[in-house]
């Protein structure tokens, strides 16, 4: 584990000279389509700090997009992954299996909602997990249609691009997309025309009506939703929406899939965000936070659904790599030992109080939302609900210059999102909030 002092330290401009040099090399060698939020090159990272190649220490409010919830070099992750690395790096589970894969699947069965019999299959990335959830749902139902939601994000492969709502930057020019994908409304409380309190009931009724009238419930294999929408703007579907959609799926023989790739593994203060409304998904996709930074993803669900594809129908060369599995067991051990669900809830408490004080002073803060350590503010033009991507970008830039790494998101590019590692110290958390407050004063 890197014993990095948990203190912000700025010793050069951001990015500094060494980062600028690396960025110049990168521009010559790395494809232009691969962007970076902040071209500061990392040297070491742990806890709430990323140390760059110039010796600057940045406060991390991004966790590599909700991945390093346990920190970027958590002791148990490093220990278990290193031991596995020395034993063997790969055999391919489809050729010669190993215990770590089985153990991760056992943990997933225990931690995911519902006490029914469950099984899992492991993959490399979130998009791959979503693709496989669709394969499993189609094999089980012998139907084809897939229902997704406004503002949804599910990945960058062909099928998952099609399932993702936002054109730029994810889809533009990359079509044609896979067929049999249908998009319906989601209960976006802040922007629901008749008000947040009506959004759950009205949006679910609209979505169900569209499914029945435009697709036919009997043709739908899967309904897939993020219990808190991530890239779309940290939208929490208004109360009642998820239970209504889940019930409709169950009543109509449709597989209900919760995409918890961003919201899962303690991020929202629960093992999985759908627990807040007691929704028990048929299948659940996980990735990001699962393995402390190593690439691992999973589909977990009802045993009879998971067993629907023919033998050999699921898999992949690297899926459930032994080092990634060892890392996942270390990450899960850390989450349990440090009670990271409680830490996430505490982060929410601190952040929401600080953000409410900022909102009092600045009326461009339209909405404060999210749960646990998945918190966002939606920025608007003064006195309206018109999106304000300019202020969002300027605020992010001002934070970056002070050594606070923040991310933006949202269909309209006007959401500032905060995803600190769950192990971040409260001093750093508050210092990060000070920087955000100062950025408002400047912008
Ligand atoms: C990040 C994300 C994905 C895609 O995961 P990758 O590992 O980038 O392929 C899918 N769904 C959700 C909700 C995500 O946040």
Instruction: Note whether 209 and 244 are within 8 A (CB).
Output: no
The CB of 407 under 6 Å from ligand 1? The reply is: no
Residues spanned by CATH 3.40.640.10 within the chain?
Answer: 76-336
Calculate mean pLDDT across residues 48-58.
98
Residue 375: half-sphere exposure toward Cβ, Cα within 13 Å: 24
Architecture of domain 17-73+339-442: Alpha-Beta Complex (3.90)
Residues spanned by CATH 3.90.1150.10 within the chain?
Answer: 17-73+339-442
Residue 102 — pLDDT band, cuts 50, 70, 90? very high
The CB of 124 under 6 Å from ligand 1? The reply is: no
Instruction: Note whether 264 and 66 are within 8 A (CB).
Output: no
Bridge partner residues of 258 (DSSP): 225, 284
Rounded CA separation 376/378 (Å): 7
Q: Which of 153, 268, 370 best tests ligand 1's pocket when mutated (most atoms within 8 Å of CB)?
A: 153
Residue pLDDT, tens place only, 254-286: 999 999 999 999 999 999 999 999 999 999 999
Quote the ligand 1 centre to 212 CA distance (angstroms): 28
Task: Report pLDDT for 3.
Answer: 82
Task: Flag whether pLDDT at 197 surpasses 90.
Answer: yes
Task: Report pLDDT for 87.
Answer: 98
The CB of 272 under 6 Å from ligand 1? The reply is: no
Task: Flag whether pLDDT at 1 surpasses 80.
Answer: no
Task: Report pLDDT for 214.
Answer: 98
List helix spans (H) across 194-273: 196-210, 241-251
The CB of 403 under 6 Å from ligand 1? The reply is: no
User: What fold, for 76-336?
Assistant: 3.40.640
The CB of 262 under 6 Å from ligand 1? The reply is: yes
Instruction: Note whether 123 and 316 are within 8 A (CB).
Output: yes
Rounded CA separation 308/143 (Å): 13
Mean pLDDT taken over the chain: 97
Task: Flag whether pLDDT at 2 surpasses 80.
Answer: no
Rounded CA separation 329/258 (Å): 22
DSSP 289-319: GGGTTS--EEEEEEHHHHT-SPTTSS--SST
Quote the ligand 1 centre to 10 CA distance (angstroms): 32
Closest CA to 328 of 301, 298, 373, 296: 296
The CB of 226 under 6 Å from ligand 1? The reply is: yes
Cis peptide before 181, with omega less than 30 degrees from 0? Answer: no
Total Cβ atoms within 10 A of residue 260? 33
Closest CA to 308 of 255, 249, 260, 252: 255
- Hey, is 89 helix, strand or coil? coil
Residues ≥6 apart with Cβ < 8 Å to 201 = 240, 244
Q: Which of 288, 294, 374, 417 best tests ligand 1's pocket when mutated (most atoms within 8 Å of CB)?
A: 288
Ligand 1 atom with the smallest distance to the CA of 128 is 9
Calculate mean pLDDT across residues 178-204.
97
Task: Flag whether pLDDT at 173 surpasses 70.
Answer: yes
The CB of 154 under 6 Å from ligand 1? The reply is: yes
Instruction: Note whether 332 and 111 are within 8 A (CB).
Output: yes
Count Cβ atoms within 10 A of the Cβ of residue 144 and give its class: 0-12 exposed, 13-18 middle, 19 or more buried.
middle
* C-alpha distance from residue 141 to each of 54, 119, 340 (Å): 55, 17, 37
Phi, psi at residue 394, to the nearest 5°? -65, -40
Q: Which of 155, 281, 370 best tests ligand 1's pocket when mutated (most atoms within 8 Å of CB)?
A: 155
Residue 400 — pLDDT band, cuts 50, 70, 90? very high
Residue pLDDT, tens place only, 110-161: 999 999 999 999 999 999 999 999 999 999 999 999 999 999 999 999 999 9
Calculate mean pLDDT across residues 99-114.
98
DSSP 144-180: -EEEEETT----SSHHHHHH----TTTTTT--PPPSS
> Dmax of the chain from CA atoms?
62
Task: Flag whether pLDDT at 418 surpasses 60.
Answer: yes
> What percent of the chain stands above pLDDT 90?
99
């Amino acid at each position: 584990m890197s014993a990095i002092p948990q203190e912000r330290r700025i010793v050069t401009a951001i990015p500094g000279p060494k980062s600028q040099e690396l960025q110049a090399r990168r521009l010559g060698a790395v494809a232009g389509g691969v962007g970076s939020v902040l071209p500061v090159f990392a040297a070491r990272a742990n806890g709430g700090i990323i140390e760059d190649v110039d010796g600057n220490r940045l406060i991390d409010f991004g966790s590599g997009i909700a991945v390093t919830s346990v920190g970027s070099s958590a002791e148990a992750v490093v220990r278990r992954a290193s031991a596995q690395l020395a034993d063997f790096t790969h055999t391919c589970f489809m050729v010669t299996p190993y215990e770590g894969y089985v153990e991760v699947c056992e943990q997933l069965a225990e931690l995911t909602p519902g006490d029914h019999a469950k099984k899992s299959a492991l993959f490399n990335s979130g998009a791959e997990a979503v693709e496989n959830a669709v394969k499993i749902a189609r094999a089980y139902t012998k139907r084809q249609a897939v229902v997704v939601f406004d503002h949804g994000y599910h990945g960058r492969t062909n099928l998952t691009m099609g399932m993702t709502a936002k054109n730029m930057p994810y889809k533009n020019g990359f079509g044609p997309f896979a067929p049999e994908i249908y998009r319906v409304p989601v209960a976006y409380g802040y922007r629901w025309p008749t008000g947040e309190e009506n959004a759950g009931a009205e949006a679910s009724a609209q979505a169900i009506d569209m499914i029945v009238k435009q697709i036919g419930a009997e043709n739908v294999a899967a309904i897939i939703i993020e219990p808190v929408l991530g890239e779309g703007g940290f939208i929490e579907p208004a109360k009642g929406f998820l239970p209504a959609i889940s019930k409709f799926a169950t009543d109509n023989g449709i597989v209900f899939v919760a995409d918890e790739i961003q919201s899962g593994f303690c991020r929202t203060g629960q093992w999985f965000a759908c627990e807040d409304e007691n929704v028990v998904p048929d299948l659940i996709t996980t990735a990001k936070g699962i393995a402390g930074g190593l690439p691992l993803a999973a589909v977990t669900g009802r045993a009879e659904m998971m067993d629907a594809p023919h033998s050999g129908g699921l898999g992949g060369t690297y899926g459930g790599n032994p080092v990634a599995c060892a890392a996942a067991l270390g990450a899960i051990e850390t989450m349990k030992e440090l009670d990271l669900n409680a830490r996430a809830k505490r982060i929410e408490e601190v952040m929401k109080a600080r953000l409410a004080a900022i909102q009092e002073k600045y009326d461009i803060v339209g909405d404060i939302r999210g749960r646990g350590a998945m918190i966002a503010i939606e920025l608007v033009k003064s006195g309206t609900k018109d999106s304000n991507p300019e202020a969002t970008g300027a605020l992010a830039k001002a934070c970056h210059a002070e050594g606070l790494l923040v991310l933006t998101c949202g269909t309209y590019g006007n959401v500032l999102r905060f995803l600190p590692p769950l192990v971040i110290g409260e001093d750093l958390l508050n210092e990060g909030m000070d920087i955000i407050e100062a950025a408002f004063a400047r912008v």
